[in-house]
Amino acid sequence: MSDMMQTMTRHLSFIGMMLLLLGLAACRPQETIIIYITPTPQPSATSASTLVPTTVAMLATETATGGAVAQAATATQTAAPTLATAEPGSFGPIIDASYSLPPTSTPPPTSTLPPSSTPTPINTPIATLYPAYPALDGNRIGVQMYYNLPIDAYYVFLQHAKWLNVGWIKLQADWSFLQPEGPGAYGPTFQFFVDYVQRTRAEGFRVLLSVVKAPDWARSTVEEDGPPDDPQLYVNFLAELMERIKPENIAAIEVWNEPNLIREWRGTLPFNGAGYMQLFRPAYDRIKSIAPEMQVISAGLAPTGNTAGSVDDRTYMQQMYDAGLAEYTLAAVGIHPYSWSNPPDFVCCDTIPGRGWDDDPHFFFADNLRDYRAIMERNGHNVPMWTTEFGWATWDGYPGDPPDEWMRFNTLADQVEYTVRALEIGQSLDYMGPMILWNLNFGTATLIQDRLEMSAYSLTYDVDGLSLSRRPLFEVLSQIVTRQ
């Protein structure tokens, strides 16, 4: 992911030049926000403390529902620099091209979803569809944000999250990025992250941190990403992170991300559930010693089978229980129930002949939920499941071909219907905690041009590098999600 991240970071500077409209938070947008840019030089990691003046002019046009035209505003502000090389996190699921499992005998159900309609044009409000959707509790919904941005751009995306009415923001704390020089060494990028978390909390969100990726100085193996050789180093970093951010600004911590993928777990700890528990145990104990009420979540696993680069998530979860996960009765179990191009009500297998991405239970939201919960119950672990990543990717509305063929099967309308239905299913389950949608703002011009998968999940996007637009899913969620 490092080359991709460097490319992404180089081309994210245009976002960093956005400044919030005066009074923008007072009105919900229904139109494209046009952004006129004065470029800012890309800072290096060694010059990250230099403050760069940023000038931005933003024009909001009249909404489709007849709202008043917002005033154009031009302002100059001293902005935090673009952070240098933060890893945005993986999109979640991965299955090797050669991997397959025998289909189960479970017959496909009749879908409870309405037929997909013609995709709504981008940036056109689709209010006529709203009555068909349920009201959703925003306190149980969140979205993951990319934070490697100047403060004004980060604030813009916080406002977008406010318009979604979600209660949670997930940020991935990349340890290798925040503390690259050694234990106890903290530079300006770390302070920016502290400030962003505190600002997010001050804006009324609850913050979920996923703390991942040991720096090179903590690993004898520096290929890809992975845990430290000594789990105590991770524990120490967690304690320092909590001390500087302050526990009252953090609502939950997820201990690592998708450790059943070797790209996330290169190192000396065993590549299995028992190896993960060597990290989880001391991390849980230290977090609870600092903040007894803090929600600690086990790492969400990637839904995948046994391949050269992965361990089957069902097998891996049972290995975690064999190593003592059920002892943690105040923890939550993280899950990543991706569903590729399959609707959330469908179960394996071959529900739509000829598509291919429906011949394995790992490809189904419903099968993932069912199998994870069955493993938990079999091990007597009656704690909540937290969906720390999920979503449906679509290339609909983007130029060129999608990075994966299965994305062709998802339209913008499918993305709306599947996501809303999944949230409805989750909120009907008494054991389901918050559900974090992947993602808010990875749809940058460069990621789209480079055909990177994470951009297909994004709720916002920019095709030409000049304007920020919202997908229909954003517009629907902003109307049916409420917080009380």
pLDDT score for 28? 39
pLDDT score for 131? 56
Residue 211, φ and ψ in degrees, nearest 5: -105, 120
pLDDT score for 77? 28
Q: Which residue has the higher pLDDT, 266 or 127?
A: 266
Strand intervals (E) in 307-452: 332-335, 385-390, 432-437
Mean pLDDT is lowest, of 79-88, 163-172, 392-401, for 79-88
Residue 394 has pLDDT above 50, yes or no: yes
State the burial class of residue 205 (Cβ atoms within 10 Å of its Cβ: 0-12, 13-18, 19+): buried
Residue 25 has pLDDT above 60, yes or no: no
Mean pLDDT is lowest, of 51-60, 152-161, 360-369, 391-400, for 51-60
C-alpha distance from residue 102 to each of 86, 106, 318, 353, 360 (Å): 39, 12, 21, 16, 7
| Mean pLDDT across the chain | 78
Residue 477 has pLDDT above 80, yes or no: yes
Tell me whether strands 467-470 and 460-461 are parallel, antiparallel or unpaired.
antiparallel
Alpha helices by DSSP H, listed for 246-293, are 273-290
- What is the pLDDT averaged over residues 127-153? 85
Distance between CA atoms of residues 325 and 277, nearest Å: 7
Distance between CA atoms of residues 357 and 408, nearest Å: 11
Q: Which amino acid is at 263?
A: R
- What is the pLDDT averaged over residues 339-351? 90
- What is the pLDDT averaged over residues 449-462? 96
Q: Is 128:65 a contact under the CB 8 Å cutoff?
A: no
Assign residue 2 a region (left: φ > 0; alpha: ψ between -120 and 50; beta: otherwise).
Answer: alpha
Nearest alpha carbon to residue 254 among 336, 144, 368, 334? 334
C-alpha distance from residue 265 to each of 205, 259, 471 (Å): 30, 6, 34
Evaluate if pTM is beyond 0.85: no
* pLDDT one-digit tens code per residue, 240-256: 999 999 999 999 999 99
pLDDT score for 222? 87
Distance between CA atoms of residues 2 and 203, nearest Å: 31
Q: Is 104:349 a contact under the CB 8 Å cutoff?
A: yes
Q: How does residue 484 score in pLDDT terms, banded at 50, 70 and 90?
A: confident
pLDDT score for 465? 83
The fraction of the chain above a pLDDT of 90, given in percent, is 67
Beta-carbon contacts of residue 200 (< 8 Å; ≥ 6 apart): 158, 169, 171, 207, 249
Mean pLDDT is lowest, of 30-39, 354-363, 387-396, for 30-39
Distance between CA atoms of residues 141 and 483, nearest Å: 10
Q: Which residue has the higher pLDDT, 20 or 326?
A: 326
Mean pLDDT is lowest, of 95-109, 141-155, 246-260, for 95-109
DSSP codes, 15-65: GGG--PPTTGGGS---SPEEEEE---PPPPGGGTT--EEEEEEEEEPPPTT
DSSP codes, 72-103: PEEEEEEEPPPPS-------S----TT---PP
Mean pLDDT is lowest, of 73-87, 220-234, 371-385, 463-477, for 73-87
Question: Using the 8-state DSSP alphabet, how is residue 325 labeled?
Answer: G
CA dihedral of residues 143, 144, 145, 148 (deg, nearest 10): 170
Nearest alpha carbon to residue 84 among 161, 12, 160, 171? 12
The fraction of the chain above a pLDDT of 70, given in percent, is 73
Q: Is 89:120 a contact under the CB 8 Å cutoff?
A: no
pLDDT score for 39? 26
Residue 66 has pLDDT above 70, yes or no: no
- What is the pLDDT averaged over residues 158-163? 96
Give the tokens for residue 62: 């009249």
- What is the pLDDT averaged over residues 53-81? 26
Residue 321 has pLDDT above 90, yes or no: yes
Residue 269 has pLDDT above 90, yes or no: yes
- What is the pLDDT averaged over residues 52-62? 23
Tell me whether strands 460-461 and 168-174 are parallel, antiparallel or unpaired.
unpaired
* pLDDT one-digit tens code per residue, 278-301: 999 999 999 999 999 999 999 999
Mean pLDDT is lowest, of 19-33, 328-342, 368-382, for 19-33
